[in-house]
Amino acid sequence: MCRIVSYLGTPVLLEDLLYSPDSALLNQIIHAQMLDMLNLAGFGMAAWDPVSHAPASPFVYRTTQVGVFDRNLKLLASKVAPHALLAHIRGVPYNSSVQINEQNVHPFKFDRVPLAMAHNGDLSGFRAMRFDLVEHVRPEFAQHIQGSTDSEWLYALVLSGLDDPLRINQPEAILAAIRRALGIVREVRARHGITRSSSTNLIFCDGVNLIAVRYTFDFGRFENVRLQGTMQFLSMWYTFGRDYGLHGDEWKLVGGAADADSIIVASEPLTRDIATWIEVPEYSALVVRRDGDRRSAEIHALEV
């Protein structure tokens, strides 16, 4: 399984999200605290820098290198200060059937589409399902699918549920498209008799909106599979506040939700002290809204 971190708020150095905290995303490649596996199949990010050329379009970086050895990424992280970030390290099963290539690295963002997406989990039986999904994906997006992952198809499904995917959408429209996509996958799974537990944790960001989904199809159902820690939901956490940085000996946001102008959402807390982190409930979506200079979060149940 993979690890994700997303940020929305006042500009911060990439280094302070990807490298500096004890459980920063790049440290989770080898030492994830809430996942018993390595994440060696690539790193990717979309970073919206407010002082860059065309700030509404993110800087996108994707590589199959193991991120902790990527000197170019380290140098970039010391210079780029985005106000929005969606970053992902890819973890895959340890076997030769897995395809390690740039086309399969998250996050996914099609040309001219503001919304990007990263996925933590996998859809069991995806090879049998994907041709049934074609009818639900707009042709202009189907032809942009380059990789072999279930994640890119989920992204295309969500975009196909937006009335105008080429503009910044309201959170309600994005959430409705997510519900539609999950419903289509559930129906196709039923058509093929697929009942094996399949995690579908998703984070979407377009530089304005941030929506995080914690969801599992048929949780706890496994056929003829040796269980190895799979009876737990994949984790997802968030923290609110302002002035992200090193406070005392801990990297964190301060001030709490009342004065929050920034939010971090991650597969697991980035810091030793998790007192300021809140777990996203299972079968729910976290929707971040902006109200003037403040940001607030809502939890929406996903009854799909």
Question: Tens of pLDDT along 203-220?
Answer: 999 999 999 999 999 986
CA dihedral 92, 269, 173, 301 (to 10 degrees): 100
CA pair distance 144, 185, nearest whole angstrom:
20
Residue 234 lies in a domain: yes
Residue 1 pLDDT level (bands cut at 50, 70, 90): confident
pLDDT exceeds cutoff 50 at 229: no
CA pair distance 124, 277, nearest whole angstrom:
30
Q: Which amino acid is at 117?
A: M
Q: What is the pLDDT of residues 119-164, one digit of tens each?
A: 999 999 999 999 999 999 999 999 999 999 999 999 999 999 999 9
pLDDT exceeds cutoff 80 at 226: no
Mean pLDDT of all residues in 234-246: 95
Token output for 99: 């395809």
Residue 43 lies in a domain: yes
Phi/psi at 27 (5° precision): -70, -25
Cβ neighbors of 53 (< 8 A, separation 6 or more) are none
User: With contact defined as beta carbons under 8 Å apart, do 200 and 147 qualify?
Assistant: no
Residue 99 lies in a domain: yes
Residue 159 lies in a domain: no
The structure tokens 């990717």 sit at: 44
Q: Domain containing 38: what range?
A: 3-121+198-301
Burial of 221 (0-12, 13-18, 19+ CB in 10 A): middle
CA pair distance 268, 247, nearest whole angstrom:
20
CA pair distance 66, 64, nearest whole angstrom:
7
Residue 162 lies in a domain: no
User: With contact defined as beta carbons under 8 Å apart, do 84 and 147 qualify?
Assistant: no
CATH number, domain containing residue 281? 3.60.20.10
Domains in the chain, number: 1
Residue 230 lies in a domain: yes
Q: Which amino acid is at 143?
A: Q
Q: Which amino acid is at 89?
A: I
CA pair distance 195, 26, nearest whole angstrom:
33
The structure tokens 């902006």 sit at: 290
Cβ neighbors of 290 (< 8 A, separation 6 or more) are 208
DSSP assigned state of 108: B
Residue 186 lies in a domain: no
Q: What is the pLDDT of residues 168-189, one digit of tens each?
A: 999 999 999 999 999 999 999 9
User: With contact defined as beta carbons under 8 Å apart, do 251 and 18 qualify?
Assistant: no
Token output for 188: 């196709």
Residue 228 pLDDT level (bands cut at 50, 70, 90): very low
The structure tokens 């440290």 sit at: 27
Residue 177 lies in a domain: no
CA pair distance 145, 77, nearest whole angstrom:
28
